[in-house]
Structure formats: C-alpha cells, structure tokens
Amino acid sequence: MYNLPEYEPNEEVWNSIASKLSEGALQNALERLPSYEPTDAIWSQINDKLSPKTIKFPAWKWVSVAASIAIIMGTFYWLSTDKQQIRYSEERIDKDLLLNPVDDSQQQYEMIVAYCKQQTYVCQNPEFVSLKTELEELNSASKQLKEVVGQYNTEPELMAQLTSIEQQKSEIIRKMAAQI
C-alpha cells in the first residue's frame, strides 16, 4: 500500500465536483424532502426523559447501609486498639567481647625483633625472613580490619576474619620463637 504512487488531482477537477454538487438536481431533491414538526406531547416526553429522576431509596436500605458501615468501623477500631504495644530492650556491652587495645602478639613480635638485634645470624635465615614478612602482612591486615570493625564489633563475619588473622599471627610468632 505504501509503495503505490500518489496522485493529486488538478484544481479544475475539484471545481467541477463542487459545481455538480450545487446544480439543480441535488437542490431539487433536497427541497422535495418532507419536513416534520413533532407535537407538544412528544416534546414533553423528551423533556421528561432528559430531566434527572430522583431515585427512591427505601428506609430499610438506609438502615442496612448504616449498620454495615458501623460494623466495619467497629471491627477496624477493635483491631487497631489494645494491640499496639511499644517494646524496647536494653543491651549491655560485654567487656570481654570488646577488642583489646593492647595487642599481645605485637609485644611478642617486638621481643623477637629485639633479640634479632643482638643475634643477627638467626634472623638472617631465609625461612625466618619469610615468616617475618608474612607476620608484617598479617599485622597490616589486622590493623585495617580493626579499623573497619570499629569499637563495637557488630559484624560477625569481620570478627571471624579477625580471629583467623590473630590465630595465624600467633602460629607464625610460635614458629619464629622456635627458630631462635
């Protein structure tokens, strides 16, 4: 349909159509059509149908509607009262669960470093240097994790990671102490 060519007729074609419509044959046909005028009774019936009617609603229906509304509102009131209670709880911080501000593993590490300053031949062992590097990385990770956890230790997953790091640090310090 979209591929079909379009044609626009000349102005003369439109003028010819308009003149034929205004010719006498059409005008004669229009003049011969009968015209009717409705009687007053018909007009009054039309007006009666157009005017709004008042709907008669019996009293018993009004009473039933009012009773339904009263039951619904009563049920809503009954469900909404005496059921609301404000509850609260207090939580106390267990001092044992707070992070210890003094890191025991750090003190032990410092003792090992002090020993290494006195007897350097043990501390230059490649295995000992590897353990020292690993311990420093764990110390850094522990410090970052403690900053993320904060003071109140509210994330169990982070606390589990911190515990794992502390256990790894203790194991490395034990291995370092065994080499000394």
- pLDDT tens, position by position, 56-99: 778 888 889 999 999 999 888 877 766 567 777 887 766 665 55
Q: Are 173 and 113 in contact (CB under 8 A)?
A: no
Q: Tokens standing for 177?
A: 């102490």
Residue 162 lies in a domain: yes
Residue 118 lies in a domain: yes
Residue 139 lies in a domain: yes
Q: What is the pLDDT of residues 125-158, one digit of tens each?
A: 888 888 888 988 988 888 888 888 776 666 778 7
Q: What is the DSSP string of 5-41?
A: ------HHHHHHHHHHHTSHHHHHHHHHS------HH
Residue 111 lies in a domain: yes
Q: Which residue has the tokens 């300053």?
A: 117
The total domain count for the chain is 1
Residue 15 lies in a domain: no
Closest CA to 162 of 146, 178, 139, 140: 146
Residue 152 lies in a domain: yes
In which domain, by residue range, is 150 found?
97-179
Residue 50 lies in a domain: no
Residue 2 lies in a domain: no
